Amino acid sequence: MHAIVHAANIQDRDGGVVLMASLFGLFPFLLKLFADGGYQGEQFQSGLRAALTHVQVEIVKRSDRAKGFVVLPKRWIVERTFAWLNRCRRLAKDWENLNRKGLTFLRLASIRLMLRRLCKPV
């Protein structure tokens, strides 16, 4: 739906506020955001509340009692998508010098993925 490629010295949760503000500006009908534990900091929460008042944030956490590998609800969707995108060799390594080129190849990989799913015979 939307992506931003930023420099490595910016934390994901700091860049996440900018991403979410632009994403929910494009798609105002979205009401809920699922995020992992890295986004539970007060800086992200307050930035998101300032940019988006109607969005409910749900942090998907791992259970303290769980041992070993446990599939987290909603988290597997994101991890599966990352795995699909990393099949593109160009995205598997950080070869790009410019952020806009990295974003372009991310979009091309997403288009390739969507076309394969749309053209798949039933």
pLDDT tops 70 at residue 89? yes
Whether the predicted model's global pTM rises above the 0.75 cut: no
> Could you report the per-residue pLDDT of 14-36, keeping only the tens digit for each?
888 888 878 777 888 888 888 87
Q: Which residue type does 16 have?
A: G
Helix (H, G, I), strand (E, B) or coil at 114: helix
Helix (H, G, I), strand (E, B) or coil at 32: strand
Domain range summary for the chain, segments of one domain joined by +: 1-61, 63-122
pLDDT at 122: 65
